[in-house]
Structure 1
Amino acid sequence: MSGTSPQLSVFFFSSVDTGPSADRYDFVLRTTVLAEQLGFSAVWLPERHFHTFGGLYPNPAVLASALAVRTERIALRAGSVVAPLHHPARIAEDWAMVDALSNGRAGLSLATGWNPGDFVLGRGSFDDRRESTFATVDTLRALWSRAEVTFPVSGKPVPVRTYPAPVSSDLPLWLTATSGPATYQEAARRGCRVLTGYLQQEPAAVAANIREYRDTYQPYRPGDQPWVTLMMHTCVAADRATAMATVAGPMLAYQRQFLGLGDRALRTAGEEELTEDEKQALARYAAYRYAAECGLIGGRAEVTARLAELAATGVDEVACLVDYGLPDDVVRDTLHRLAEISGRVTAV
């Protein structure tokens, strides 16, 4: 555990609908530089394909490389690499380059994937994605440690050692867990950290899964420390009323865009899509849920208390999702206020 308040990092996951791509990448660069100046521990970059929601991020390693040459201290993490879509050797090569460019600041979370349409890129089947992801953990660690790993090619074993050699001896590795306890347990057994959120989990379920992860971790990894990163929609304003009013419109639009991504998954699976009325009702519910119940949204007092509550439930790090349509100045002020709350600076 990290003490009375979790570490703070920044999470990106914007839609291409929020503005021209060049402007949005510039926003990521500027926000990352500011986050480093304010003492945030890391930035997280997602992987998303074939849809406007998250469409700025088809390859987190490419963007992390750009951030590496603009920063000096802040950790650069994938949240997440969809492991079944990539050969483990390619993941090792890409992120070793990020590690070299950043002088040892790379880290990544592996996700199983959930959208069948993404698997046009995949090496395996959608149905085998969990087993593929968990196997990638072991293979990636071996490659990162400079071991030679054998892969089959046309029925014959081919030994591979990847290059370049990473700067860091150990790769900080998370598993992304967004639903039931099974992935938390797998992360514990494999000695991985956990990246989670309230996407498909209520706060009580997340707290229970975190407890189970920590309880399971120690027997498998005595002496090592488990680590839980929680992604949260974030906005810190002068007071709670101002924060809620600020996020209302952007949050509703963001959730509506997310439901469009769900439509794509339903079409791929051959299932019936939601009606427009159903989508709007779900978007309103989700926007309210994240703003009022599952977000890090409020004034300094509310956010400070919320961070203390999260630390007590076993959260080591809060990854603050800030690019869900908020104006740039609101994001900037939010990061300054969070830095003040965490004791890193003394004034906004």
Structure 2
Amino acid sequence: MFFSGADRGRGPDRYAEILRVTGLAEELGLEAVWLPERHYHPFGGLFPDPAVLGAALAARTERIGIRAGSVVVPLHDPVGIAERWALVDALSGGRAGVSLAAGWNRGDFALARCAFEQRREYTFAAVDTLRTLWRGETVQVSGGQAVRTFPAPVRAELPLWLTATSAPDTFTEAGRRGCRVLTAFLQLDRVTLERNIRTYRTALAAHAPDRAPHVTLMLHACVAETTALAVAAAEPSLIAYQEQFLDLNDRAGGPGEPLTAAEKRELSRYSAHKYAVERGLIGGPEQAAARLEDLAGIGVDEVACLVDYGLAPQHVTETLRRLAALTS
């Protein structure tokens, strides 16, 4: 999974590492690559449109899944989402998948299709629209016109996730609509995650019993020969990552006074330690295997390994190779 790749200027090779890592992931037999949607900030500035980058990766790969993690739905017309991702699906021979997010950063909503307060309802309604268009049927748009989108996708049904950070209602909605779930430990601990997964599974069994549950968990990943080496490689990058994230969070316009620089540094060190020790896939092979087994035990079906939070390329390569060896 990619999330935070920073745009550092006009250099022509800014996407070289993303292309390299995706090619390596395919070579190692990993399942998919996840591409985010980010706007108006250098942190994540390489990712304004996951469909465009997904199309480029589709042309350079043959097997690996190409997924949006996530499309910020309120920034788009769902008809446009269907068109772009059908194109990715066609280019990739049927490898597209999309997670739908309501968005959290008010700064992203400069050109939104709905008010920030209405973002969840807008996102949930898009599920039915996307499925209808993906089947080749028509939908009514503003003005009463009926439209059908092209190109026709390859796969019969688009795999859809709902991105759920902490609200149990989103897990319930994913189950009710027969979607998969993409989540993370950003605002969750293990106990809350397990409870939310149970909520999702209960809703899925009640409303879409023909669909198998599927929970994808994003984790910061670094697997080295030993846990000490993994933490040493990851922790400085995690601190810098958290500092950038806090700067982005200030722009989101949340409640309360902005943090001071000293408070941000202290919180970044604390958060980095938490991710390295408790909330990431960071350690030696034995520790990583135990972590994966524990997560499977609470209902996690798939882990999306975040690798672009500042790790050196050699550590990314080692991490993917060790993870592939664990799961082969």
TM range, smaller chain: over 0.9
1:212 is displaced (CA, Å) by 1.4
1:215 pairs with 2:205: no
SS at match of 1:72: coil
> For residues 280-324 of structure 1, what are the alpha-carbon distances to aligned partners after superposition, in whole Å with 9 as ceiling and x for unaligned?
111111111111100000000000111111111101100000111
Structure having greater relative contact order (Cα 8 Å, sep ≥ 6): 1
1:14 shift after superposition: 2.4
Q: Which residue in the other structure is 2:179 paired with?
A: 192
> Which whole-Å CA distance do the structure 1 matches of 2:195 and 2:42 have between them?
34
Instruction: Report 1:187-266 matches (<5 A).
Output: 187-266=174-253
Q: How does 1:95-174 map to 2 (within 5 A)?
A: 95-153=85-143, 157-174=144-161
* Residue 52 (structure 1) aligned with residue 42 (structure 2): yes
Letter of the 1:50 partner, please give it.
Y
Percent of aligned pairs sharing the same letter: 58
Runs of 5+ consecutive residues of structure 2 not aligned to the other structure: none
C-alpha contact 2:70 2:101 (8 A) present in aligned 1? yes
Q: Is the 8 A contact 1:195 1:229 kept in 2?
A: yes
Q: Are residues 92 and 17 of structure 1, via their aligned partners in 2, closer, same or farther at CA, if it must alter by over 3 Å?
A: closer
- The one of 149, 155, 162 equivalent to 1:175 is 162
1:93 aligns with 2:83: yes
CA distance in 1, matches of 2:79, 2:320: 36
- Tell me by how many angstroms 1:22 deviates: 4.0
Find the counterpart in structure 2 of residue 3 from structure 1. Answer: none
User: Which segment is superposed worse, 218-227 or 328-337?
Assistant: 218-227
Point out the more displaced range, 198-207 or 181-190: 198-207
Name the amino acid aligned to 2:149: T
- Contact kept in structure 2, 1:92 and 1:144, CA below 8 Å: yes
CA separation in 2, counterparts of 1:111 and 1:14? 17
Alpha-carbon offset, residue 265 of structure 1: 1.1
Alignment correspondent of 1:284: 269
Give yes or no for contact 2:71–2:98 (8 Å, CA) kept in 1.
yes
Instruction: Find the aligned partners of 2:255 and 2:174 in 1 and give their Cα distance.
Output: 32
Give the SS at the match of 1:297. Answer: strand
Number of residue pairs aligned between Structure 1 and Structure 2: 328
DSSP 3-state at the match of 2:19: helix
Q: Distance in 1 between matches of 2:11 and 2:244?
A: 16
One-letter identity of the residue aligned with 1:325: G
1:79 to 69, 73, 84: 69
What is the CA–CA distance in structure 2 between the aligned matches of 1:133 and 1:282, rounded to whole Å? 32
- The equivalent residue for 2:318 is 333
Alpha-carbon distance in 1 for matches of 2:166, 2:263:
23
Q: Distance in 2 between matches of 1:297 and 1:139?
A: 39
CA–CA separation in structure 2 for the residues paired with 1:90 and 1:18: 29
User: How far has the Cα of 1:111 moved from its partner?
Assistant: 0.2
Give the distance between the partners of 1:21 and 1:52, measured in 2 at CA: 14
Q: Tell me the residue number matched to 2:299.
A: 314
- Residues 7 and 45, structure 2, Cα contact 8 Å, conserved in 1: no
User: Structure 2 length as normaliser, TM-score?
Assistant: 0.97
- What secondary structure, in the 3-state scheme, does the structure 2 residue paired with 1:293 have? helix
| SS class of match (2:3) | coil
- 1:294 and 2:284 correspond: no
Q: Deviations over 1:11-65 (max 9, x none)?
A: 0012316787643411111111110110100000000100111111010000000
Q: Per-residue displacement from partner, 1:137-175 (whole Å, max 9, x unpaired)?
A: 11111111111100113xxx1111011111111000000
Structure 1 contact 18–325 (Cα < 8 Å) conserved: no
The answer to whether the 8 A contact 1:235-1:322 is kept is yes
SS in 2 for 1:73: coil
Residue type of the alignment partner of 1:46: P
Deviation at 1:271, TM superposition (A): 5.5
Structure 1 unaligned blocks of 5 or more: 1-10, 344-348
Q: Distance in 1 between matches of 2:100 and 2:219?
A: 18
Question: How far is 1:272 from its partner?
Answer: 2.9
> Aligned partner of 1:38: which letter?
L
Q: Give the aligned partner of residue 260 of structure 2.
A: 275
2: CA distance, partners of 1:17 / 1:193: 31
Contact 2:218–2:305 (Cα < 8 Å) also in 1: yes
Task: Identify if the C-alpha distance between structure 1 residues 36 and 15 changes in structure 2 by more than 3 Å, giving closer, same or farther.
Answer: closer
Q: Kindly indicate whether the alpha-carbon contact (under 8 Å) linking 2:7 and 2:42 is maintained by their aligned counterparts in 1.
A: yes
